[in-house]
Structure 1
Amino acid sequence: MNFGPGRMSPAHRSVIKKKGYKKAIHSYRHGKIQWADKQLAGMRIDLRKSLRAQQSGRCYFCRQLVLQERRNACEDIEHYLDKSKLHYRKWTFSPVNLTIACHPCNLQKGNRDLGDAAIRGSTSLRVGSGSFRWLHPYFDDYHRNIEIHPGWVYAVKASAPKAAEAAAMLRDLELDQIERIQQTRQRYVDLLERTVVLMDKLIERNEVNKPRMKKLTAILKTLKDELRWA
């Protein structure tokens, strides 16, 4: 299965350099507007489109497909180094600081400081600027460090070059919970399949009006509601 690129490439650099966004970016950097300001709305839309394409529509962190809602309720433009921190504000528009993340991963990440002292004091964001707590989207290869097994089971690869960073990312984002969520959903699906098989057998025997059929129908209704929230 294609889980998206191992190492991202900042193809969206051209979006940030568009002349039409230059004035708004200048206003942001001088503290006159915030990231959510409508002056930056066009750029945010273009960034989303570019990042979605680069990431094959998947969250950078968990690699699950992100649903596209009208108001982008399921995804966020993610600043790897949190723009709310004064020492990282200078990299708000840095191409290598931007990804798309699903809303749950972004919430779990919060405003963690993922750079060390060298990163916080650096004047450039590149390989060698310092160390990061997690895998970096543009400087590290996700697939060389993390493997994803069926059922969304995440593990650090035995030969991972950044094993500590990969382990910290999986632990901090609590990606092990995705496996438990998927297991719960699979139990519902299995029960649903068994119920449908039993119903088919009853229909073949012309027993559709018997109490057992009504019981199975009630189970199906319950499963439908449970799956809606699983």
Structure 2
Amino acid sequence: MNIGFERIDPTPSYVLGITAASFAGLPWTSKAAIVTAFKTSLKLELRSTQRGLCCYCRRPLPSDPPATHLEHFIEKEAWSHFAFEIRNLALSCSTCNGKKNKAYALLCGRLTRRASKNVPNPAKVVRCPVLVSNVAPVAITSSADFRWVHPHLDTFSEHITVRKGYVFQKRTMKGHRTIKGLELNSVGRLEHRAAIEKLSLTTGPISLTIGLAAQLQFNSPSQVYMMAAEVIRGKLKGAQGR
């Protein structure tokens, strides 16, 4: 399956006269003109470099730029000084963004509960699952600092193979952690249901045939055959119920 791009290369640049330090004291949610312009410009550049695909699952992103997520690889809650660092940002779909947030929350919760066995009412333990060490790197320059496949620093196919039907197979431990942490092998089920719903809306055999042919880009012939059978069964059942 064509994954679209291996890594974000080249990494987008700040506009002339702007650096990460220019955002000092500004929260990510700020409505300041410099922040709004930065997000808008970066989304457009990343969409082009990422070929319109999610940095994690390689599914097509929504066509409407505001509907895409500027994902922080190192969570901004944990390390806010990386909030406006371009190499810490990539475009992701809402599914992967949500799965990554879930992995972060689960890890922090587990470590906090573990700490509570020794210290009553401990402060929340903050740990980023993507980092090798809980001490964040000074700069985002080395792939070795990360446990998950980094969108800017790692070559995706060296760690993960994507088969048709969005089946993700590990090639390295880093790939394994990324697949597990993002629950990437649940993506295939989501895409299958979305395809069935879309195909079920087609009217006439020609439209259905064209729709099924388009699915061959992402699914094997046997998977497309199963989709066709499911859609036809659904249409027949609907016709009988009228």
2:58 matched to which residue of 1? 63
How far is the alpha carbon of 1:190 from its aligned partner? 8.2
For residues 90 and 182 of structure 1, what CA distance do their matches in structure 2 show?
A: 36
How far is the alpha carbon of 1:187 from its aligned partner? 5.9
For residues 166 and 136 of structure 1, what CA distance do their matches in structure 2 show?
A: 10
1:188-199 matches, cutoff 5 A: none
Checking the alignment, whether the CA contact within 8 Å between 2:131 and 2:146 is kept in structure 1 is yes
For residues 76 and 185 of structure 1, what CA distance do their matches in structure 2 show?
A: 20
How far is the alpha carbon of 1:116 from its aligned partner? 2.9
1:11-50 matches, cutoff 5 A: 11-13=11-13, 16-19=14-17, 21=18, 26=22, 28-30=23-25, 33-39=26-32, 40-50=35-45
Query: TM-score of the superposition, structure 2-length normalised?
Result: 0.65
Q: Which runs of 5+ in 2 are unaligned?
A: 105-127, 207-233
1:86-101 matches, cutoff 5 A: 88-101=79-92
1:133 matched to which residue of 2? 147
Deviations 1:125-177 (A, max 9, x none): 2116x5312111122110122111111111113xxxxx111111111111111
Which of residues 71, 75, 83 is equivalent to 1:82? 75
For residues 2 and 146 of structure 1, what CA distance do their matches in structure 2 show?
A: 13
Give the secondary structure class of the aligned counterpart of 1:53. helix
1:195-210 matches, cutoff 5 A: none
Say which one has the larger Rg: 1
State the one-letter code of the partner of 1:156: K
Checking the alignment, whether the CA contact within 8 Å between 2:148 and 2:174 is kept in structure 1 is yes
For residues 99 and 131 of structure 1, what CA distance do their matches in structure 2 show?
A: 17
Checking the alignment, whether the CA contact within 8 Å between 2:168 and 2:185 is kept in structure 1 is yes
Tell me if 1:149 matches 2:163.
yes
1:168 matched to which residue of 2? 177
Query: TM-score of the superposition, structure 1-length normalised?
Result: 0.68
How far is the alpha carbon of 1:99 from its aligned partner? 0.7
Give the secondary structure class of the aligned counterpart of 2:43. helix
State the one-letter code of the partner of 1:124: A
Give the secondary structure class of the aligned counterpart of 2:161. strand
Give the secondary structure class of the aligned counterpart of 2:145. coil
How far is the alpha carbon of 1:12 from its aligned partner? 1.2
For residues 192 and 200 of structure 2, what CA distance do their matches in structure 1 show?
A: 12
Q: Which runs of 5+ in 1 are unaligned?
A: 158-162, 198-214, 223-230
Number of residue pairs the alignment of both structures matches: 186
Tell me if 1:124 matches 2:117.
no
For residues 4 and 240 of structure 2, what CA distance do their matches in structure 1 show?
A: 37
CA RMSD of aligned residues (A): 3.3
For residues 80 and 178 of structure 2, what CA distance do their matches in structure 1 show?
A: 22
For residues 65 and 221 of structure 1, what CA distance do their matches in structure 2 show?
A: 36
Give the secondary structure class of the aligned counterpart of 2:151. coil
State the one-letter code of the partner of 1:66: L
For residues 221 and 49 of structure 1, what CA distance do their matches in structure 2 show?
A: 48
